[in-house]
Amino acid sequence: MDQEARHRATTARRWWVLVFLIPTLLILSSLVLYPALRTITDSFLDRFGDQYIGLENYSALASSPRFHTAVLNSFLWATLFPLTVVTIGLVLAVLIEKVRWETAFKLVLFLPVAVSAMSSGIVWRMMLDDSPERGAFNAVATLSASIVSPAGDLAGARPTTGTITLNPDGSIAFPVEVSSAGAVANLGLIGIAEVDLPGNATTANPATRQPKSITGTIWRDAGSSNGQKGKIDKDEIGLSGILVKLISPSGSTVAQTYSVTGGRYAFEGIAPGKYSVLIPSEVTRTRWTGIEWLSPSLITPAAMLAGLWIWAGFSLVMIRAAMTRLDRDVTDAARIDGASEAQILRRITLPLLAPTLSVIGITLAIYGLKVFDLIIGIAPEPVQDDANVIALEMWRSAFTGLGNRGLGSAAAVIMFVMVVPVVALSLRSFRGSETRT
């Protein structure tokens, strides 16, 4: 090639560089670099972006409890969340290794990534609805709980008068002193749901005193229009089929029986002395209503659960891809030398996967610091303050209500400060894995 031709080629190339790069550089400098720097200087200005007010926006944020929640939650999203997702991805990757339908499994777990984060949040808001009638999670949870520990026959019942005590465990006790003439212990209760009333409910039947016996009536001490508390009034309903125990002063059970129609029960042949008639706690045990995921204290874990649903597949697919790239010879050699599968995993596979795991973790940490749509989707308005994250706070201060430019800018700057170290880490491990492959 002669001098002139080479010169021409270089000139042509220079033109191509300009054509190929100028649009990109123009857009990046005007829409990324300039606005970012502008936001940093704006964070020292007032709500209209007019007047310099020093660090006032930052001190306003520092003293706002809502912002504290946002920073704490964002921190959890950047640490706890990636850690959980990577761990679960790793466990699944190891489990799926020997299964033939690996591709189908990966597909099922990966699909949520394609759905918008807000939609995922909405889907999980429905799944985790507090009411067991509407939320699938609590429907399953309360159903299983009711099998393990069913609600009592008189769930939530409590005594009407002070002579009868309601113990902290929910049991109801009536202290009685029995003479040779016997004693009467009537247990008037309220707080009983209509559905718990006996099907063939009859009016309460007052018990009569009998020698050497404790007799009494268990009845619903309500329902009579002008009734008196602690008194069996006309039209009040007797509670049949209820377990009653007779407890000695030492605390041991002397006898137990069930109330019959009209609510009457009787312990016969009782030696004189002090006793206590007890309706045990399993009778008054209320139905467990499930976990209140969408309540202030659990809304962030609930959102992270939705995040896990979105990202576990990504984590699994990336880890599996890295595992298949690993050198089979090393693990095979170890297996021939008699290493156990657990040893191979811990000593060989995990160390070789470490760069991949950190790349996934960092990617998810960056996602976690920017999470926004997911919170909008899952958190009902009243608990949005508790689910608050830094990106949400930034949007709320800058764009909702009257809009506060300075404050919103300051929140964005703090978000930037949190993101920078994580991204710097990621660039380092990106470079690391680049030289590795």
Partner 1 sequence: MKQDHGVEGTASRRPRRLTEFVLVLIALVWMIPGFGLLITSFRSADEYARSGWWTALYRPGELTISNYVEFLSNGNLLGTLGSTLLIAVPATLIPISLATTAGYALAWIPFKGRKAVYLSIVSLLVVPFQLALLPALELFGTIKLSGLPAIWLFHTAFGLPLGVFLMHNFFAGIPKSIIEAARIDGAGEGSIFANLALPNALPGIASLAIFQFTWTWNDLLVALVFAGNRTPITVAIQQRLNDFSTGIEVIGPGVLLGAVAPLLLFFAFQRHFETAMKTGALH
Residues within window 294-313 making contact with partner 1, judged by CB under 8 A:
309, 312-313
Measured torsion, CA atoms of residues 39, 42, 47, 48, in degrees rounded to the nearest 10: -100
Q: How far is the CB of 9 from partner 1 (least distance, A)?
A: 8
Q: How far is the CB of 129 from partner 1 (least distance, A)?
A: 8
Contact window for partner 1 (CB under 8 A) among 100-108, 190-198, 203-211, 344-352: 100-108
Other C-beta atoms lying within 10 Å of the C-beta of residue 110: 17
In the set 157, 318, 364, 389, which binds partner 1 (CB under 8 A)? 318
Q: Residue 105 or 288: which CB sits closer to partner 1?
A: 105
Distance CA 303, CA 118 (A): 11
Q: How far is the CB of 190 from partner 1 (least distance, A)?
A: 29
Residues within window 1-20 making contact with partner 1, judged by CB under 8 A:
9, 12-14, 16-17, 19-20
Q: Give the angle 132-133-134 at the CA atoms, nearest 5°.
A: 90
Listed residue (269, 264, 220, 210) closest to 241, CA to CA: 264
Measured torsion, CA atoms of residues 14, 15, 19, 21, in degrees rounded to the nearest 10: 10
Q: How far is the CB of 366 from partner 1 (least distance, A)?
A: 9
Contact window for partner 1 (CB under 8 A) among 53-61, 117-125, 184-192, 250-258: 117-125
Number of residues that bind partner 1 (CB under 8 A): 98
Residues within window 331-390 making contact with partner 1, judged by CB under 8 A:
338, 355-356, 359, 369-370, 372-373, 376-377, 380-381
Residues within window 134-163 making contact with partner 1, judged by CB under 8 A:
134-136, 139
Q: Does 402 bind partner 1 (CB under 8 A)?
A: no
Hey, what long-range contacts does 246-255 have (CB within 8 A, 24 or more apart)? 246/214, 246/270, 246/275, 246/276, 246/277, 246/278, 247/173, 247/275, 247/276, 247/277, 247/278, 248/273, 248/275, 249/273, 249/274, 249/275, 249/276
Q: Does 53 bind partner 1 (CB under 8 A)?
A: no
Q: How far is the CB of 149 from partner 1 (least distance, A)?
A: 22
Q: Is 276 helix (H, G, I), strand (E, B) or coil?
A: strand
In the set 61, 85, 90, 117, which binds partner 1 (CB under 8 A)? 117
Token pair 């009569």 is found at 208
Q: How far is the CB of 229 from partner 1 (least distance, A)?
A: 37
Q: Provide CB contacts within 8 A for 423, sequence distance 6+.
A: 362, 366
Token pair 């703090």 is found at 414
Distance CA 254, CA 259 (A): 16
Contact window for partner 1 (CB under 8 A) among 69-77, 221-229, 257-265, 413-421: 413-421
Q: Does 35 bind partner 1 (CB under 8 A)?
A: yes
Q: Does 39 bind partner 1 (CB under 8 A)?
A: yes
Contact window for partner 1 (CB under 8 A) among 116-124, 178-186, 226-234, 283-291: 116-124
Distance CA 353, CA 325 (A): 10
Q: Does 271 bind partner 1 (CB under 8 A)?
A: no
Site string for partner 1, 160-199 (x = CB under 8 A): ----------------------------------------
Q: Is 207 helix (H, G, I), strand (E, B) or coil?
A: coil
Q: Does 60 bind partner 1 (CB under 8 A)?
A: no
In the set 11, 24, 63, 250, which binds partner 1 (CB under 8 A)? 24
Q: Residue 180 or 324: which CB sits closer to partner 1?
A: 324
Distance CA 317, CA 103 (A): 9
Burial of residue 292, with CB atoms counted within 10 A of its CB: 0-12 exposed, 13-18 middle, 19 or more buried:
middle
Residues within window 213-242 making contact with partner 1, judged by CB under 8 A:
none
Q: Residue 153 or 393: which CB sits closer to partner 1?
A: 393
Distance CA 214, CA 5 (A): 119
